[in-house]
Structure 1
């Protein structure tokens, strides 16, 4: 499902609230973000798994929740996050999402 900017903003705003639908909304945002390319603004390539992890960074999900969703360990998620941050030349999740990667 491809989200337009309005729907993406609405979903993002509501994932931080404690509604029973927060996980559903987070999963939809992640699925939408999975359409991104591997190329970052700096020309470094993200692996398929890094793209999967990156797609969840715009959600309020913890590393443990992302790990459960992707059937990997939380340590694996954190390792991929560190690699994504290095490739995007950022130091935290928020900056990685802001910087983004080309669509």
Structure 2
């Protein structure tokens, strides 16, 4: 084999990871934290939908399930990019770092 054969598409995560995220999201601790932080209950439905699409992809190689998973993961990555760090990262140590 020359290595040029196209590798089959795989889900970005194992299906069980989506289910674990869903269960964590539904937990009392997660609800409390999310409510305390954001003032609302978390929406866990997307994790459940991703799990369903992942299983559908594994079972039937459904193009719709594949596209739904890809959209969901892209959306998740874009959402993470919206948050800026609280602290400004410095490029160099302070000039007098050795004096303290």
TM-score (norm 2): 0.29
> Relative contact order (alpha carbons < 8 A, sep ≥ 6): 1 or 2 greater?
1
TM-score (norm 1): 0.28
Structure having the higher Rg = 2
